[in-house]
Structure 1
Amino acid sequence: MAETVAAGRRSGHRRELAALALAQFTCSFAGSNMNVMINDISRDLDTTVQGVQVAITIFLLVMAALMIPGGKLTDRYGRKRCLLTGLVVYGVGALLSAVAPGLGVLILGNSILEGVGTALLIPPVYILTTLLFHDMTSRARAFGVIMALGGIGAAAGPLIGGLITTGISWRAAFVFQALVIVVIVVLSRGIEDPLPPEPDRPFDTVGAVLSAVGLVLIVMGILAADNDVWLMLGLLCLGVFMLWWFFHWVRAREASGKEPLLSLALFHNRTSNLGLVTQNVQWLLLMGSSFTVAAYLQVVRGYDAIGTGVIFTSATLGLLVSSLAAERLARRRPQRTLIMTGFAVSVVGVAVLIVLAGSLSSAWAFAPGLLLLGLGLGVMLTPSVNVVQSSFPEEQQGEISGLSRSVSNLGSSFGTAIAGTILVSGLTRGAYAAAMLVLAAIGLAGLAAAALLPHDRPRPPAHPS
């Protein structure tokens, strides 16, 4: 009887883990699959490359801006309820995107609704995993599965999106996302929230608005760089002011004994701060390079969606190989060493993407650089998150997880905004090289931040997220 109960519990946990991992895969997939649809969407909706770039960037930005508020809402309304609500909102956004008659409706469905849905469902994924898997070994394994599927979703998004776009239509890629959401909802029915909701728990609405508006203004300022320099400066200054106001508000709220949206104590840990910088730069490199290479191949070189997606299989392969070896590497090498190695390999990959693209006409000239980029990112993704998570006690894991996810998504948004803005300003070989050089420079800054991390001994991941 005991063996039967244990087997049933393991089977239930597998279904729960499958639902949570698929949710992370879908959200990561959504962030990168549109990169190979640039030409198809531009033609169908009578828009420009910059229009598609804005849609992608706003999606990533909405995720980043609302991730921390989304995490706070899980305490008030319950983790499972927020997960299911996020899935439904995401599914509606995907279906609306599939029938979009113009760019405005696509932004509403993909960028806004899917972004809001992601911000609601991702925090419960990580919090439920922490609560459902009690011992450190099973928890580390569960987070490893979730992170692996998230990385694969981001790296394989161009290939899967290219196959669907070429075989059917770019609209079918959004229908595919909606179908996966249905599967996740079915698998999620058996999830039981280990903690009851706290409907009377206060929510910092002012803090949520200030932080979201500040981040939106900064990214929109970056997007405006190639159209109006004064508008760019105005938006950036206003965004910085709103973020200053947010931190001032949080400090005053903490001083009065009220619960803020985000505790400033999270930023008092130097190791965690450096880890957050490395996370931000990693996703900036991944999404910035993905958009730049995909847009260049389609708009300048004239490749279709499937041709572009196939080239990106090298990045997927590199990320998959290094992710599968992550646990073994963590036992043998210090986290600081893995993060520094990952950045070094990734920067070399970006350099290869610049050199070979300029000297060879074949699209396969991009494969070696993408492979190195995937290998480097796969090596350092989990150690960077683990550096942040392991800097805080168990009772602060939910809060730091929300901050960690927000910082990572903000990096994705910055990558697409910065590199994309440089590229679409000229859409030439020179603009491509300039965008990639900027990404390489940012990668070197990430390497410098990793070098400042404290030395540690190799050990298995304590609490990856």
Structure 2
Amino acid sequence: MDARVEAGRPSGELRRALIPFALAQFICSFAGSNMNVMINDMSADLGTTVQGIQIAITIFLLVMAVLMIPGGKLTDRFGRKRCFTAGLVIYGVGALLSAVAPGLGVLIIGNSILEGVGTALLIPPVYILTTLLFTDLASRARAFGAISALGGIGAAAGPLIGGFITSAFSWRASFVLQALIVAVIVVLSRRWVRDPLPPDPTRPFDVGGAVLSAVGLLFIVTGILAADNSLWLMSGLLLAGALVLTWFFVSMRAKERAGREALLSLTLFGSRTSNLGLITQNVQWLMLMGTSFTVSAYLQVVRGYNAVETGLVFTATTVGLLVSSLAAERLATRRAQRTIIVAGFVITIGGVVTGLVLVSGTSPVWTLLPGLCLIGLGLGAMLTPSVNIVQSSFGEEMQGEISGLSRSVSNLGSSLGAALAGTILVAGLTVTPERSYALAMVAVGAAGIIGLIAALLLPRRLGKPAPALGEPAPAA
């Protein structure tokens, strides 16, 4: 595809290609959050518990996280568009299987496994192709802005859309909707998306590295989920995860020194700016998914709200995120990316604090709205600059790897958010619900402080535009 750009704006051909990319990110983010408002309906229909649905949600997010890096590497070997299409097909099959699931086990296979695998295959090509096709600095920033905004809106609006569908039809209809949208994306991508670089079928794939990274991350998230069962089990799993991930990084270094293909090049961690950007990405999605699960479970289990009522409460987050996302392009031309990310964390943490101060067991539901709106405003403002500074820190030859790493880190944040906040909440939901809600939100706010510190450490010279591919990243 000829990436022609006129006056800083992409050609009509590129704008059309952006539509399936943005829709793909929207539906994957939607899938990660819409189940939060179906907790009561799904648990009753499938004969399981709130914790069972939490596990299904977390496994879905975890599968995405552990397979995103291998998914990014496979694009170099099999082609970006081919992986994109294959991921969409697998995702669609998983959505249809979830729609007819008779129990939790089949739901986990369809939603958690197949949809997770499909997402891991289709999302890296979205970011790789966007970086390769939109070569002009301004057009690439707009493209990332549109994709990130729809991703954030999908996650924030997931509870509202899912709530309406569940109340009007059934929770199963939500998965049918996902399959239909995926089918539309497949048709649009066949017409409008072309891969500008040929695949390299001879390129080797590091199977051992993929296994080590997956097992290490699996132990970490499983350890967090085990916190309410046994502190010893949690500690053992976290230690095992740390040891496996250490083994993974040691093996990556050894393979690179020996001139062999490694799953993840350690040069990706050579940019301080990119490393800090990855931390901010991780924490942003942790806060979004942690807040979504905590508030949704609290409203349904403690306050007795149905799916649509819970979704309506989350309209505050959706509106806030939409407003700041629409203003993101104007902000990017007036403020440095570091400034936007720092401000985003300050606003988001302020939203968490507002929710903790205003909400109590007897307070009306509107007291949740100011905090949720602030959380949406803060997250919407900083999602795009965080992605842009990471992707633009490396040249074309590294886009497959950095895209996979970036998406893996973001989805790991989502799975950690659902696991961390969800575990704290579920552990005391039936005994001390108000205290459990407060502790879960405190954990989300504490994670936000970590993200704020990382944002403050970003170089001050990280100005309004991100560097173009092939240009050096800003000095740390």
| Both structures adopt the same fold (TM-score exceeding 0.5) | yes
How far residue 13 of structure 1 moved from its aligned partner, in angstroms, is 2.9
- Of 453, 456, 459, the residue aligned with 1:454 is 459
Listed one character per residue, the Cα deviations across residues 158-196 of structure 1 (whole Å, up to 9, x for unaligned) are 100001001000000000000001100110112222111
**What pairs up with 1:145-164 in 2 under 5 angstroms?**
145-164=146-165
- Equivalent residue, structure 2, for 1:30: 31
Q: CA deviation at 1:146?
A: 1.1
- Residue of structure 1 in register with 2:105 after alignment: 104
Mapped partners of 1:426, 1:308: distance in 2? 20
CA distance, structure 1, for counterparts of residue 362 and residue 386 of structure 2: 35
CA separation of 1:463 and 1:159: change in aligned 2, threshold 3 A:
farther
Letter in 2 for 1:441: A
- Quote the offset at 1:14 in angstroms: 3.3
**Alpha-carbon contact 1:210-1:242 (below 8 Å) kept:** yes
Give me the CA root mean square deviation.
Answer: 1.6
For 2:442, the equivalent position in structure 1 comes to 437
Distance 1:451 1:457, change over 3 A: closer
Offset of residue 287 of structure 1: 0.4
Contact 1:330 1:461 in 2 (8 A): no
* Aligned match of 1:61: 62
User: 2: CA distance between counterparts of 1:246 and 1:43?
Assistant: 41
Shift in CA distance, 389/130, structure 1 to aligned 2, threshold 3 Å: closer
Partners of 1:128 and 1:387 lie apart in 2 by: 16
Counterpart of 1:358 in 2: which secondary structure? coil
Which residue does 2:256 correspond to in 1? 254
Cα shift at 1:134:
3.0
Does residue 130 in structure 1 map to residue 131 in structure 2? Answer: yes
Separation in structure 2 between the aligned mates of residue 321 and residue 297 of structure 1, nearest angstrom: 25
Q: Which amino acid letter does the alignment assign opposite residue 379 of structure 1?
A: A
Tell me by how many angstroms 1:197 deviates: 1.4
Aligned counterparts of 2:68 and 2:448: Cα–Cα separation in 1: 24
Deviation string 1:307-342 (CA, Å, 9 cap, x unpaired) is 000010110011111111111112222222211111
Kindly tell me: are residues 307 and 44 of structure 1, through their superposed partners in 2, closer, same or farther at Cα, counting changes over 3 Å?
same
CA distance in 2, matches of 1:113, 1:415: 21
1:422 counterpart residue number: 424
Give the letter for the 1:119 counterpart.
Answer: A
* 8 Å CA contact retained: 1:222, 1:232: yes
CA drift of 1:444 comes to 1.1
Does structure 2 conserve the Cα–Cα contact (< 8 Å) formed by 1:140 and 1:462? no
Structure 2 counterparts to residues 369-388 of structure 1, below 5 A: 369-388=371-390
Cross-structure match for 1:397: 399
1:229 aligned to which of 228, 231, 248: 231
Cα distance in 2, alignment partners of residues 455 and 25 from structure 1: 32
Contact 1:389 1:463 in 2 (8 A): no
Alignment partner, residue 302 of structure 2: 300
Letter in structure 1 aligned against 2:457:
L
Aligned-partner residue type, residue 134 of structure 1 = T
- Give 2:42's aligned residue: 41
Provide the residue aligned with 1:139 in structure 2: 140
Whether the 8 Å contact between 1:386 and 1:463 is mirrored in structure 2 is: no
- Aligned pairs for 1:163-182 (under 5 A) are 163-182=164-183
Q: TM-score, normalised by structure 1?
A: 0.95
Alpha carbons 1:24, 1:150 under 8 Å: kept = yes
Higher mean alpha-carbon deviation, 283-292 vs 446-455, is at 446-455
After TM superposition, the score normalised by the length of structure 2 is 0.93
1:304-343 aligned within 5 A: 304-343=306-345
Identity over aligned pairs, percent: 70
Q: SS of 1:202's equivalent?
A: coil
Is contact 2:127-2:403 (8 Å) kept? yes
Amino acid at match of 2:368: F
State the shift of 1:237 in Å.
1.3
- The range that moved more, 295-304 or 362-371, is 362-371
Q: Partners of 2:309 and 2:355 in 1: how far apart?
A: 17
Aligned-pair distance for 1:130? 2.1
Q: Residues 12, 333 of structure 1: CA spacing in aligned structure 2 closer, same or farther, 3 A cutoff?
A: closer
How far off is 1:299 after superposition?
0.5
Q: Structure 1 residue 12: deviation in Å?
A: 3.6
Look up the SS of the partner of 2:268 in the other structure.
helix
Which position in structure 1 is the counterpart of 2:119?
Answer: 118
2:3 match: none
Amino acid corresponding to residue 446 of structure 1 in structure 2: G
Segments of 5+ residues of structure 1 without an aligned counterpart are 1-5
**Matches of 1:13 and 1:438 in 2, distance apart?**
41
User: Match for residue 3 of structure 1?
Assistant: none
Report how far residue 91 of structure 1 moved. Answer: 0.3
Using the TM superposition, name which of 124-133 and 392-401 deviates more.
392-401
CA distance in 1, matches of 2:132, 2:448: 35
Which of residues 263, 273, 278 in structure 1 aligns to 2:280? 278
